[in-house]
Structure 1
Protein backbone atom coordinates (compact mmCIF):
# COMPACT_ATOMS: atom_id res chain seq x y z
CA UNK A 1 0.00 0.00 0.00
CA UNK A 2 2.79 2.35 0.98
CA UNK A 3 4.78 1.46 -2.16
CA UNK A 4 1.73 2.15 -4.36
CA UNK A 5 1.24 5.51 -2.68
CA UNK A 6 4.89 6.49 -3.19
CA UNK A 7 4.74 5.40 -6.82
CA UNK A 8 1.64 7.50 -7.30
CA UNK A 9 3.32 10.55 -5.78
CA UNK A 10 6.34 10.06 -8.02
CA UNK A 11 4.21 9.74 -11.11
CA UNK A 12 2.27 12.82 -10.09
CA UNK A 13 5.48 14.80 -9.65
CA UNK A 14 6.70 13.76 -13.08
CA UNK A 15 3.43 14.65 -14.75
CA UNK A 16 3.07 17.98 -12.96
CA UNK A 17 5.31 19.73 -15.49
CA UNK A 18 5.21 17.62 -18.66
CA UNK A 19 7.72 18.33 -21.39
CA UNK A 20 6.36 18.37 -24.93
CA UNK A 21 9.03 16.62 -26.94
CA UNK A 22 7.98 17.94 -30.31
CA UNK A 23 10.34 18.07 -33.28
CA UNK A 24 11.90 21.39 -32.24
CA UNK A 25 12.67 20.28 -28.70
CA UNK A 26 14.00 16.92 -29.84
CA UNK A 27 16.26 18.54 -32.44
CA UNK A 28 17.70 20.92 -29.86
CA UNK A 29 18.18 18.42 -27.04
CA UNK A 30 19.31 15.45 -29.14
CA UNK A 31 21.19 17.14 -31.98
CA UNK A 32 22.13 20.79 -31.43
CA UNK A 33 23.44 20.59 -27.84
CA UNK A 34 25.47 17.39 -28.39
CA UNK A 35 26.89 18.76 -31.65
CA UNK A 36 28.50 21.72 -29.88
CA UNK A 37 30.00 19.34 -27.33
CA UNK A 38 31.82 17.35 -30.00
CA UNK A 39 35.55 18.03 -30.35
CA UNK A 40 35.54 17.53 -34.12
CA UNK A 41 32.76 20.06 -34.54
CA UNK A 42 34.53 22.52 -32.22
CA UNK A 43 37.72 22.23 -34.27
CA UNK A 44 35.82 22.82 -37.51
CA UNK A 45 34.03 25.78 -35.93
CA UNK A 46 37.35 27.37 -34.95
CA UNK A 47 38.92 26.66 -38.34
CA UNK A 48 35.93 28.29 -40.02
CA UNK A 49 36.96 31.75 -38.85
CA UNK A 50 40.53 31.39 -37.56
CA UNK A 51 42.05 28.85 -39.91
CA UNK A 52 43.41 29.15 -43.43
CA UNK A 53 40.94 31.03 -45.59
CA UNK A 54 39.27 28.73 -48.14
CA UNK A 55 36.23 28.99 -50.38
CA UNK A 56 34.33 26.65 -48.04
CA UNK A 57 35.05 28.85 -45.01
CA UNK A 58 34.77 32.26 -46.68
CA UNK A 59 31.24 33.01 -45.42
CA UNK A 60 32.10 31.91 -41.87
CA UNK A 61 35.24 34.05 -41.93
CA UNK A 62 33.43 37.17 -43.15
CA UNK A 63 30.54 36.77 -40.72
CA UNK A 64 32.93 36.21 -37.78
CA UNK A 65 34.86 39.38 -38.60
CA UNK A 66 31.64 41.33 -38.87
CA UNK A 67 30.45 39.92 -35.53
CA UNK A 68 33.69 40.97 -33.88
CA UNK A 69 33.39 44.47 -35.36
CA UNK A 70 29.77 44.84 -34.28
CA UNK A 71 30.52 43.75 -30.70
CA UNK A 72 33.47 46.17 -30.61
CA UNK A 73 31.22 49.02 -31.78
CA UNK A 74 28.53 48.04 -29.28
CA UNK A 75 31.01 48.15 -26.41
CA UNK A 76 32.50 51.45 -27.52
CA UNK A 77 29.08 53.11 -27.46
CA UNK A 78 28.31 51.92 -23.91
CA UNK A 79 28.26 54.54 -21.18
CA UNK A 80 29.79 53.92 -18.77
CA UNK A 81 32.17 51.51 -20.44
CA UNK A 82 31.95 47.87 -19.28
CA UNK A 83 34.19 46.80 -16.43
CA UNK A 84 32.95 43.24 -15.76
CA UNK A 85 31.85 41.13 -18.74
CA UNK A 86 30.38 37.65 -19.04
CA UNK A 87 30.92 36.07 -22.47
CA UNK A 88 28.35 33.28 -22.86
CA UNK A 89 28.53 31.09 -24.83
CA UNK A 90 32.19 31.88 -25.33
CA UNK A 91 32.63 29.09 -27.88
CA UNK A 92 36.20 28.81 -29.11
CA UNK A 93 37.10 32.35 -28.01
CA UNK A 94 35.96 34.35 -31.02
CA UNK A 95 35.42 37.52 -28.97
CA UNK A 96 38.51 37.26 -26.76
CA UNK A 97 40.59 39.89 -28.57
CA UNK A 98 37.64 42.29 -28.74
CA UNK A 99 36.77 42.02 -25.05
CA UNK A 100 40.25 41.99 -23.55
CA UNK A 101 41.31 45.18 -25.33
CA UNK A 102 38.62 47.08 -23.40
CA UNK A 103 40.69 46.84 -20.21
CA UNK A 104 38.00 45.03 -18.24
CA UNK A 105 37.52 41.78 -16.35
CA UNK A 106 36.11 38.96 -18.48
CA UNK A 107 34.64 35.61 -17.52
CA UNK A 108 33.98 33.06 -20.27
CA UNK A 109 31.27 30.41 -19.97
CA UNK A 110 29.90 27.64 -22.14
CA UNK A 111 28.16 24.29 -21.85
CA UNK A 112 30.84 22.76 -24.07
CA UNK A 113 34.14 21.73 -22.49
CA UNK A 114 35.35 20.98 -26.01
CA UNK A 115 34.73 24.55 -27.15
CA UNK A 116 36.34 26.04 -24.05
CA UNK A 117 39.40 23.81 -24.42
CA UNK A 118 40.03 25.47 -27.78
CA UNK A 119 39.27 28.92 -26.34
CA UNK A 120 42.18 28.64 -23.89
CA UNK A 121 44.64 29.85 -26.49
CA UNK A 122 42.57 33.00 -27.04
CA UNK A 123 41.80 33.79 -23.41
CA UNK A 124 44.29 32.38 -20.93
CA UNK A 125 47.15 34.63 -19.87
CA UNK A 126 45.37 37.78 -21.04
CA UNK A 127 45.04 40.73 -18.64
CA UNK A 128 41.69 40.77 -16.89
CA UNK A 129 40.68 37.22 -17.78
CA UNK A 130 38.86 35.64 -14.83
CA UNK A 131 38.60 32.05 -16.07
CA UNK A 132 36.13 29.59 -17.59
CA UNK A 133 32.86 28.27 -16.18
CA UNK A 134 30.99 25.30 -17.58
CA UNK A 135 27.26 25.88 -17.26
CA UNK A 136 23.88 25.71 -18.95
CA UNK A 137 22.57 29.12 -19.92
CA UNK A 138 19.09 28.19 -18.71
CA UNK A 139 20.38 28.07 -15.11
CA UNK A 140 23.49 30.17 -14.56
CA UNK A 141 25.53 29.57 -11.37
CA UNK A 142 26.08 33.29 -10.86
CA UNK A 143 24.45 35.64 -8.37
CA UNK A 144 22.10 38.40 -9.44
CA UNK A 145 23.85 41.34 -11.14
CA UNK A 146 27.28 39.69 -11.03
CA UNK A 147 28.38 41.56 -14.18
CA UNK A 148 27.64 44.99 -15.58
CA UNK A 149 27.64 43.59 -19.12
CA UNK A 150 26.62 40.19 -20.48
CA UNK A 151 27.32 39.24 -24.10
CA UNK A 152 25.44 36.39 -25.74
CA UNK A 153 26.45 35.87 -29.38
CA UNK A 154 25.22 33.20 -31.80
CA UNK A 155 22.93 31.31 -29.43
CA UNK A 156 19.34 32.55 -29.50
CA UNK A 157 18.74 31.55 -33.14
CA UNK A 158 19.39 27.93 -32.05
CA UNK A 159 16.93 27.98 -29.15
CA UNK A 160 13.38 26.58 -29.49
CA UNK A 161 10.57 28.91 -28.39
CA UNK A 162 9.87 27.13 -25.08
CA UNK A 163 13.35 28.07 -23.79
CA UNK A 164 14.09 31.40 -25.45
CA UNK A 165 12.48 33.73 -22.91
CA UNK A 166 13.78 31.68 -20.00
CA UNK A 167 17.29 32.25 -21.30
CA UNK A 168 16.78 35.98 -21.87
CA UNK A 169 15.44 36.31 -18.32
CA UNK A 170 18.42 34.42 -16.94
CA UNK A 171 20.90 36.59 -18.86
CA UNK A 172 19.08 39.71 -17.63
CA UNK A 173 19.23 38.40 -14.05
CA UNK A 174 23.02 38.24 -13.90
CA UNK A 175 23.68 41.66 -15.41
CA UNK A 176 23.36 44.92 -13.49
CA UNK A 177 23.34 47.21 -16.49
CA UNK A 178 23.19 45.76 -20.01
CA UNK A 179 22.83 42.72 -22.22
CA UNK A 180 24.31 42.52 -25.70
CA UNK A 181 22.61 39.66 -27.53
CA UNK A 182 22.23 38.46 -31.09
CA UNK A 183 19.01 37.12 -32.59
CA UNK A 184 18.19 35.60 -35.95
CA UNK A 185 15.53 37.89 -37.43
CA UNK A 186 12.95 36.35 -39.74
CA UNK A 187 12.23 38.98 -42.36
CA UNK A 188 10.56 37.77 -45.56
CA UNK A 189 13.89 37.96 -47.40
CA UNK A 190 15.69 35.99 -44.69
CA UNK A 191 13.02 33.27 -44.62
CA UNK A 192 13.44 32.80 -48.37
CA UNK A 193 17.25 32.85 -48.09
CA UNK A 194 17.29 30.31 -45.26
CA UNK A 195 14.89 28.03 -47.12
CA UNK A 196 17.01 28.16 -50.27
CA UNK A 197 20.18 27.52 -48.28
CA UNK A 198 18.61 24.53 -46.62
CA UNK A 199 17.42 23.07 -49.95
CA UNK A 200 20.87 23.52 -51.52
CA UNK A 201 23.16 22.52 -48.65
CA UNK A 202 20.86 20.50 -46.41
CA UNK A 203 22.00 22.68 -43.48
CA UNK A 204 19.82 24.75 -41.19
CA UNK A 205 21.97 27.62 -39.94
CA UNK A 206 19.22 29.38 -37.99
CA UNK A 207 16.50 26.92 -36.96
CA UNK A 208 14.62 29.44 -34.81
CA UNK A 209 14.60 32.95 -36.26
CA UNK A 210 11.91 35.27 -34.92
CA UNK A 211 10.07 38.37 -36.08
CA UNK A 212 11.43 41.63 -34.74
CA UNK A 213 8.18 42.18 -32.83
CA UNK A 214 8.75 38.91 -30.97
CA UNK A 215 12.30 39.94 -30.05
CA UNK A 216 11.01 43.25 -28.69
CA UNK A 217 8.45 41.39 -26.57
CA UNK A 218 11.26 39.22 -25.18
CA UNK A 219 13.23 42.31 -24.20
CA UNK A 220 10.25 44.06 -22.63
CA UNK A 221 9.16 41.15 -20.46
CA UNK A 222 12.74 40.80 -19.16
CA UNK A 223 12.84 44.47 -18.16
CA UNK A 224 15.25 45.42 -20.92
CA UNK A 225 15.18 48.49 -23.14
CA UNK A 226 16.54 48.42 -26.69
CA UNK A 227 19.05 51.24 -27.18
CA UNK A 228 20.77 50.30 -30.45
CA UNK A 229 21.28 47.47 -32.90
CA UNK A 230 23.79 46.30 -35.50
CA UNK A 231 23.12 44.13 -38.53
CA UNK A 232 25.84 41.55 -39.12
CA UNK A 233 25.55 41.04 -42.89
CA UNK A 234 22.06 41.54 -44.33
CA UNK A 235 22.71 39.50 -47.47
CA UNK A 236 24.58 36.61 -45.83
CA UNK A 237 23.16 36.41 -42.32
CA UNK A 238 19.87 36.97 -40.47
CA UNK A 239 21.86 37.80 -37.33
CA UNK A 240 21.21 41.12 -35.58
CA UNK A 241 23.07 42.33 -32.49
CA UNK A 242 20.98 44.23 -29.93
CA UNK A 243 22.31 46.42 -27.13
CA UNK A 244 19.81 46.31 -24.27
CA UNK A 245 19.85 48.16 -20.98
CA UNK A 246 17.93 47.44 -17.81
CA UNK A 247 14.91 49.68 -17.58
Structure 2
Protein backbone atom coordinates (compact mmCIF):
# COMPACT_ATOMS: atom_id res chain seq x y z
CA UNK A 1 0.00 0.00 0.00
CA UNK A 2 1.53 3.34 -1.03
CA UNK A 3 1.17 6.71 0.68
CA UNK A 4 -1.77 7.68 -1.53
CA UNK A 5 -3.70 4.54 -0.67
CA UNK A 6 -3.26 5.14 3.06
CA UNK A 7 -4.82 8.58 2.78
CA UNK A 8 -7.97 7.54 0.94
CA UNK A 9 -11.14 6.74 2.83
CA UNK A 10 -12.31 3.15 2.49
CA UNK A 11 -15.70 4.44 1.33
CA UNK A 12 -17.75 7.55 0.72
CA UNK A 13 -20.99 8.00 2.64
CA UNK A 14 -20.89 4.30 3.51
CA UNK A 15 -21.91 3.31 0.00
CA UNK A 16 -19.10 2.19 -2.32
CA UNK A 17 -15.44 1.50 -1.71
CA UNK A 18 -13.04 4.05 -3.12
CA UNK A 19 -11.11 1.28 -4.84
CA UNK A 20 -14.07 0.93 -7.20
CA UNK A 21 -14.12 4.67 -7.90
CA UNK A 22 -10.47 5.34 -8.70
CA UNK A 23 -8.81 5.46 -12.08
CA UNK A 24 -5.64 7.06 -13.40
CA UNK A 25 -5.46 9.82 -15.99
CA UNK A 26 -2.32 9.54 -18.08
CA UNK A 27 -2.19 13.19 -19.21
CA UNK A 28 -1.99 14.66 -15.72
CA UNK A 29 -0.69 11.54 -14.00
CA UNK A 30 -3.47 11.91 -11.45
CA UNK A 31 -5.61 9.48 -9.51
CA UNK A 32 -9.26 10.14 -10.32
CA UNK A 33 -11.28 9.90 -7.13
CA UNK A 34 -14.86 10.04 -8.33
CA UNK A 35 -17.35 11.39 -5.77
CA UNK A 36 -20.55 9.47 -5.20
CA UNK A 37 -23.99 10.66 -4.14
CA UNK A 38 -23.56 14.16 -5.60
CA UNK A 39 -26.36 16.43 -4.41
CA UNK A 40 -28.09 18.69 -6.91
CA UNK A 41 -26.47 21.90 -5.65
CA UNK A 42 -22.95 20.53 -6.05
CA UNK A 43 -23.70 19.12 -9.48
CA UNK A 44 -25.12 22.47 -10.63
CA UNK A 45 -22.10 24.38 -9.33
CA UNK A 46 -19.62 22.07 -11.05
CA UNK A 47 -21.57 22.33 -14.31
CA UNK A 48 -21.29 26.12 -14.15
CA UNK A 49 -17.51 26.11 -13.53
CA UNK A 50 -16.56 23.38 -15.99
CA UNK A 51 -16.40 25.58 -19.13
CA UNK A 52 -13.91 27.89 -17.38
CA UNK A 53 -11.54 25.88 -15.20
CA UNK A 54 -11.72 22.57 -17.04
CA UNK A 55 -10.61 24.16 -20.29
CA UNK A 56 -7.07 23.76 -21.72
CA UNK A 57 -7.03 27.29 -23.11
CA UNK A 58 -8.01 28.84 -19.79
CA UNK A 59 -5.44 26.72 -17.93
CA UNK A 60 -2.67 27.93 -20.25
CA UNK A 61 -3.73 31.57 -19.86
CA UNK A 62 -3.92 31.15 -16.09
CA UNK A 63 -0.36 29.80 -15.96
CA UNK A 64 0.95 32.49 -18.31
CA UNK A 65 -0.63 35.15 -16.10
CA UNK A 66 1.85 34.57 -13.30
CA UNK A 67 4.63 32.42 -14.78
CA UNK A 68 4.95 33.70 -18.33
CA UNK A 69 6.70 36.74 -19.75
CA UNK A 70 5.67 39.84 -17.83
CA UNK A 71 3.32 42.00 -19.90
CA UNK A 72 1.04 44.92 -19.12
CA UNK A 73 -2.01 42.67 -19.51
CA UNK A 74 -0.68 40.18 -16.95
CA UNK A 75 0.97 42.62 -14.54
CA UNK A 76 -1.77 42.47 -11.89
CA UNK A 77 -1.92 38.65 -12.00
CA UNK A 78 1.87 38.47 -11.71
CA UNK A 79 2.04 40.81 -8.71
CA UNK A 80 -0.86 39.13 -6.89
CA UNK A 81 0.61 35.67 -7.48
CA UNK A 82 3.95 36.74 -5.99
CA UNK A 83 2.19 38.19 -2.97
CA UNK A 84 0.17 34.99 -2.54
CA UNK A 85 3.36 32.91 -2.66
CA UNK A 86 5.03 35.20 -0.13
CA UNK A 87 2.04 35.13 2.22
CA UNK A 88 1.82 31.33 2.12
CA UNK A 89 5.57 31.11 2.79
CA UNK A 90 5.21 33.42 5.80
CA UNK A 91 2.20 31.48 7.04
CA UNK A 92 4.14 28.20 6.92
CA UNK A 93 7.20 29.70 8.60
CA UNK A 94 5.13 30.87 11.56
CA UNK A 95 3.52 27.45 12.10
CA UNK A 96 4.57 25.50 15.16
CA UNK A 97 5.31 22.70 14.70
CA UNK A 98 6.24 23.14 11.06
CA UNK A 99 4.04 21.28 8.56
CA UNK A 100 5.20 17.82 7.46
CA UNK A 101 2.24 16.62 5.32
CA UNK A 102 0.41 19.16 3.17
CA UNK A 103 -2.61 18.98 0.87
CA UNK A 104 -2.60 21.71 -1.81
CA UNK A 105 -6.20 22.06 -3.02
CA UNK A 106 -7.01 23.38 -5.53
CA UNK A 107 -3.44 23.15 -6.78
CA UNK A 108 -4.28 24.75 -10.12
CA UNK A 109 -1.24 24.92 -12.38
CA UNK A 110 1.20 24.52 -9.48
CA UNK A 111 1.54 28.11 -8.29
CA UNK A 112 2.54 27.05 -4.76
CA UNK A 113 4.84 24.17 -5.72
CA UNK A 114 8.14 25.99 -5.15
CA UNK A 115 6.95 27.41 -1.83
CA UNK A 116 5.71 24.10 -0.45
CA UNK A 117 8.57 21.89 -1.62
CA UNK A 118 11.08 24.32 -0.08
CA UNK A 119 9.68 23.50 3.34
CA UNK A 120 10.95 19.92 3.28
CA UNK A 121 7.55 18.27 3.64
CA UNK A 122 5.37 15.77 1.80
CA UNK A 123 2.87 17.40 -0.55
CA UNK A 124 -0.20 15.98 -2.28
CA UNK A 125 -1.76 18.18 -4.99
CA UNK A 126 -5.46 17.99 -5.82
CA UNK A 127 -7.84 19.76 -8.18
CA UNK A 128 -11.05 19.06 -10.06
CA UNK A 129 -9.46 20.26 -13.30
CA UNK A 130 -7.32 17.73 -15.16
CA UNK A 131 -6.37 20.54 -17.53
CA UNK A 132 -4.88 22.56 -14.67
CA UNK A 133 -3.03 19.59 -13.18
CA UNK A 134 -1.58 18.62 -16.55
CA UNK A 135 0.28 21.94 -16.48
CA UNK A 136 1.16 21.58 -12.79
CA UNK A 137 3.20 18.46 -13.59
CA UNK A 138 6.15 20.64 -14.60
CA UNK A 139 6.09 22.42 -11.24
CA UNK A 140 5.57 19.39 -9.00
CA UNK A 141 6.75 16.12 -10.52
CA UNK A 142 10.22 14.91 -9.64
CA UNK A 143 10.46 17.24 -6.64
CA UNK A 144 11.49 15.79 -3.24
CA UNK A 145 8.48 15.04 -1.07
CA UNK A 146 5.87 15.21 -3.83
CA UNK A 147 3.28 12.46 -3.31
CA UNK A 148 1.20 12.77 -6.48
CA UNK A 149 -1.92 14.32 -8.00
CA UNK A 150 -5.54 13.51 -7.18
CA UNK A 151 -8.54 14.69 -9.18
CA UNK A 152 -11.37 15.20 -6.72
CA UNK A 153 -14.17 17.54 -5.76
CA UNK A 154 -13.57 19.70 -2.71
CA UNK A 155 -17.17 19.23 -1.55
CA UNK A 156 -16.58 15.48 -1.12
CA UNK A 157 -12.91 14.69 -0.57
CA UNK A 158 -11.84 11.03 -0.86
CA UNK A 159 -9.17 11.37 1.86
CA UNK A 160 -9.50 9.86 5.31
CA UNK A 161 -10.03 12.02 8.37
CA UNK A 162 -6.92 13.92 9.49
CA UNK A 163 -4.80 12.68 6.58
CA UNK A 164 -2.66 15.83 6.62
CA UNK A 165 -1.36 18.11 9.34
CA UNK A 166 -1.86 21.12 7.05
CA UNK A 167 -4.36 21.83 4.26
CA UNK A 168 -3.90 24.85 2.00
CA UNK A 169 -6.84 26.18 -0.01
CA UNK A 170 -5.92 29.26 -2.04
CA UNK A 171 -8.14 31.24 -4.42
CA UNK A 172 -11.26 29.11 -4.18
CA UNK A 173 -13.66 30.25 -1.47
CA UNK A 174 -14.38 33.64 -3.09
CA UNK A 175 -15.78 31.70 -6.07
CA UNK A 176 -18.09 29.48 -4.01
CA UNK A 177 -21.80 30.28 -3.61
CA UNK A 178 -22.92 30.75 0.01
CA UNK A 179 -24.91 27.50 0.23
CA UNK A 180 -21.74 25.46 -0.46
CA UNK A 181 -19.10 27.53 1.33
CA UNK A 182 -19.48 26.03 4.81
CA UNK A 183 -19.78 22.53 3.39
CA UNK A 184 -16.35 23.01 1.83
CA UNK A 185 -14.78 24.53 4.96
CA UNK A 186 -16.09 21.58 7.00
CA UNK A 187 -14.66 19.12 4.49
CA UNK A 188 -11.24 20.82 4.49
CA UNK A 189 -11.27 20.82 8.31
CA UNK A 190 -12.12 17.11 8.32
CA UNK A 191 -8.99 16.04 6.44
CA UNK A 192 -6.53 18.13 8.48
CA UNK A 193 -5.29 17.11 11.90
CA UNK A 194 -3.91 20.50 12.89
CA UNK A 195 -4.40 23.51 10.62
CA UNK A 196 -6.10 24.97 7.57
CA UNK A 197 -4.63 27.86 5.58
CA UNK A 198 -7.40 29.33 3.45
CA UNK A 199 -8.04 32.50 1.48
CA UNK A 200 -11.32 34.41 1.43
CA UNK A 201 -12.50 37.43 -0.51
CA UNK A 202 -13.44 39.97 2.14
CA UNK A 203 -16.26 42.36 1.33
CA UNK A 204 -15.28 45.67 2.90
CA UNK A 205 -17.12 48.72 1.60
CA UNK A 206 -14.05 49.79 -0.38
CA UNK A 207 -13.65 46.35 -1.95
CA UNK A 208 -17.32 46.14 -2.92
CA UNK A 209 -16.98 49.47 -4.76
CA UNK A 210 -13.69 48.38 -6.37
CA UNK A 211 -15.14 45.06 -7.54
CA UNK A 212 -18.24 46.76 -8.92
CA UNK A 213 -16.14 49.27 -10.88
CA UNK A 214 -13.90 46.50 -12.21
CA UNK A 215 -16.92 44.55 -13.37
CA UNK A 216 -18.30 47.63 -15.13
CA UNK A 217 -14.99 48.34 -16.89
CA UNK A 218 -13.82 44.83 -17.77
CA UNK A 219 -17.00 42.78 -17.62
CA UNK A 220 -15.18 40.32 -15.35
CA UNK A 221 -16.35 39.26 -11.90
CA UNK A 222 -13.14 38.29 -10.11
CA UNK A 223 -14.71 37.60 -6.71
CA UNK A 224 -18.40 36.76 -7.18
CA UNK A 225 -18.93 35.75 -3.54
CA UNK A 226 -17.00 37.99 -1.12
CA UNK A 227 -18.10 37.88 2.53
CA UNK A 228 -17.90 40.11 5.58
CA UNK A 229 -15.17 39.26 8.07
CA UNK A 230 -17.82 38.37 10.67
CA UNK A 231 -19.25 35.75 8.28
CA UNK A 232 -15.79 34.25 7.74
CA UNK A 233 -15.28 33.97 11.50
CA UNK A 234 -18.62 32.20 11.84
CA UNK A 235 -17.52 29.73 9.14
CA UNK A 236 -14.34 28.99 11.08
CA UNK A 237 -16.09 28.62 14.43
CA UNK A 238 -18.76 26.19 13.20
CA UNK A 239 -16.01 24.03 11.66
CA UNK A 240 -14.14 23.85 14.98
CA UNK A 241 -11.34 26.15 13.81
CA UNK A 242 -9.78 29.12 15.57
CA UNK A 243 -8.12 32.06 13.81
CA UNK A 244 -4.40 32.28 14.58
CA UNK A 245 -3.23 34.96 12.13
CA UNK A 246 -4.05 36.52 8.80
CA UNK A 247 -2.28 38.11 5.84
CA UNK A 248 -3.59 40.65 3.34
CA UNK A 249 -2.55 39.95 -0.23
CA UNK A 250 -2.76 43.48 -1.66
CA UNK A 251 -5.17 45.66 0.32
CA UNK A 252 -5.80 48.17 -2.48
CA UNK A 253 -5.78 45.80 -5.46
CA UNK A 254 -7.27 42.60 -4.06
CA UNK A 255 -9.96 41.63 -1.57
CA UNK A 256 -8.07 38.38 -0.89
CA UNK A 257 -7.13 37.61 2.72
CA UNK A 258 -5.21 34.52 3.84
CA UNK A 259 -6.21 33.03 7.20
CA UNK A 260 -4.18 30.58 9.27
CA UNK A 261 -6.61 28.45 11.27
CA UNK A 262 -6.00 25.71 13.82
CA UNK A 263 -8.32 23.10 15.22
CA UNK A 264 -9.80 24.31 18.49
Q: TM-score, normalised by structure 1?
A: 0.89
Tell me how far 1:34 sits from its aligned partner.
3.0
Q: Is the 8 A contact 1:75 1:82 kept in 2?
A: yes
Taking structure 1 as reference, are residues 138 and 21 closer, same or farther at Cα in structure 2, changes over 3 Å only?
closer
The CA distance in 1 between the partners of 2:21 and 2:86, in whole Å, is 61
SS at match of 2:25: helix
Tell me how far 1:13 sits from its aligned partner.
34
Q: Is the 8 A contact 2:87 2:249 kept in 1?
A: yes
Residues 200-235 of structure 1: per-residue CA shift (max 9 Å, x gap): 000000000000000000000000000000000011
- Note the 1:213-224 alignment, pairs <5 A: 213-224=230-241
Tell me how far 1:105 sits from its aligned partner.
0.2
Q: Is the 8 A contact 1:28 1:158 kept in 2?
A: no
Tell me how far 1:51 sits from its aligned partner.
0.3
Q: Is the 8 A contact 1:25 1:160 kept in 2?
A: no
The runs of 5 or more residues in structure 2 that have no matched partner are 1-17
Q: Paired residue for 1:65?
A: 82
Q: TM-score, normalised by structure 2?
A: 0.84
Q: Is the 8 A contact 2:25 2:31 kept in 1?
A: no
The CA distance in 2 between the partners of 1:65 and 1:10, in whole Å, is 28
Q: Paired residue for 1:15?
A: 32
Taking structure 1 as reference, are residues 93 and 2 closer, same or farther at Cα in structure 2, changes over 3 Å only?
closer
Taking structure 1 as reference, are residues 24 and 56 closer, same or farther at Cα in structure 2, changes over 3 Å only?
farther
Taking structure 1 as reference, are residues 28 and 190 closer, same or farther at Cα in structure 2, changes over 3 Å only?
farther
Q: Paired residue for 1:48?
A: 65
SS at match of 1:14: strand
Q: Is the 8 A contact 1:103 1:128 kept in 2?
A: yes
The CA distance in 2 between the partners of 1:3 and 1:83, in whole Å, is 30
Taking structure 1 as reference, are residues 128 and 188 closer, same or farther at Cα in structure 2, changes over 3 Å only?
same
Tell me how far 1:23 sits from its aligned partner.
14
Please identify runs of 4+ aligned residues in structure 1 that moved more than 2 A. 1-34
Q: Paired residue for 1:135?
A: 152
The CA distance in 2 between the partners of 1:70 and 1:108, in whole Å, is 19
Q: Paired residue for 1:97?
A: 114
Single out whichever of 4-13 and 54-63 deviates more from structure 2.
Answer: 4-13
Q: Is the 8 A contact 2:22 2:34 kept in 1?
A: no
Tell me how far 1:25 sits from its aligned partner.
8.3
- Is residue 238 from structure 1 mapped to residue 255 from structure 2 by the alignment? yes
Taking structure 1 as reference, are residues 196 and 5 closer, same or farther at Cα in structure 2, changes over 3 Å only?
closer
Taking structure 1 as reference, are residues 10 and 198 closer, same or farther at Cα in structure 2, changes over 3 Å only?
closer
Q: Paired residue for 2:5?
A: none
- Paired positions, count: 247
Taking structure 1 as reference, are residues 196 and 148 closer, same or farther at Cα in structure 2, changes over 3 Å only?
same
**What CA RMSD, in Å, does the superposition of the two structures yield over aligned residues?**
8.2
Single out whichever of 112-121 and 10-19 deviates more from structure 2.
Answer: 10-19
The runs of 5 or more residues in structure 1 that have no matched partner are none
Taking structure 1 as reference, are residues 86 and 3 closer, same or farther at Cα in structure 2, changes over 3 Å only?
closer
The structure in which a higher percent of residues are helix is 1
